[in-house]
A = this chain, B = another copy of it.
Amino acid sequence: MRSKKIPDIVIRRLPLYLRTLARMAAEGKEITSSDQLAEQLRISSALIRKDLSYFGEFGKQGTGYQIRFLQEQLQRILKVDREWEVALVGAGNLGRALAHYKGFCNRGFRIVAVYDNDPAKIGKMLGNLKVKSASHLVEDVRARRLKMAMLAVPADHAQEVADQLVEAGIRAVLSYAPIHLTVPDGVYVQYIDPVVHLQRMTYYLGNRKHSNLKGF
């Protein structure tokens, strides 16, 4: 299976399937179908079946999917059948929100260290983590062999911190700073910038009849 190159657009949808399945499971459901998933996600059931078919046969015609089984398979495919330890850089308001966010732990991720360069923040507790000096970032991350980090620092510092993270062995960065980061090949960066989403929507406000906007 893995010898096929699977389009990234397919990979992007798998976390959404997994999230929807988790919600169904939490509601006590045991079986679902591509039609039900399609209705939840507002995409076509044919697309869902095609996406899943890249990875194997997960359901039987007419009987649908065992939710628990499909969850396990998607967790394995996305490699969140384990827990990834994540470094958080930036202990401002956003860093605080991330440190307290309950949605990471049962979805494969745990923030294990928080760094900041502000002496007023260093040593303070953020949830159950003590904010450490950013001067320890590289040695700490390397010693703990962390592979993932979240960046919640101002745009002006983001590239510098990203460079340190890469130096320390980080392979995947989720950046909240509204700038494009330069990283070497083999290091992945994803960006979260609320304004990008807001501006995409304002384009369509008033352009209703031309809308191609998809939910995600």
User: A residues near B, CB below 8 A?
Assistant: 2, 5-8, 11-12, 14-16, 18-20, 23, 40-42, 77-80, 84, 86, 92-94, 96-98, 100-101, 103-104, 107-109, 147-148, 150, 155, 171-172, 174, 178-180, 186, 188-208, 210-216
Residues of chain B within 8 A of A210, CB atoms compared: 2, 5-6
Q: Give the complex CA separation of A208 and B107 in angstroms.
A: 22
Could you list 10 examples of A-B contacts with CB < 8 Å? Answer: A5-B210, A6-B210, A14-B203, A23-B155, A42-B180, A78-B199, A93-B97, A104-B194, A188-B201, A188-B213
What is the total number of copies of this protein in its complex?
A: 2
Q: In the complex, what distance in Å separates the CA atom of A193 from the CA atom of B80? A: 16
B108 touches A180 (CB 8 A): no
The listed residue (B12, B97, B148) touching A198 by CB distance below 8 A is B148
A144 to chain B, nearest CB (A): 16
Query: A210 vs B194: C-alpha distance in the bound complex, in angstroms?
Result: 29
A87 to chain B, nearest CB (A): 13
Cβ of A96 to closest chain B Cβ, rounded Å: 6
Q: Which of B8, B109, B203 contacts A77 (CB 8 A)?
A: B203
Are A190 and B199 in touch, CB under 8 angstroms?
Answer: no
Residues of B within 8 A of A201 (CB): 148, 172, 174, 188, 190
In the assembled complex, the CB of A84 is this many whole angstroms from the nearest CB of chain B, namely: 6
Partner of A98, one of B194, B196, B215: B194
With beta carbons under 8 angstroms apart, the residue of B15, B94, B96, B198 that contacts A199 is: B15
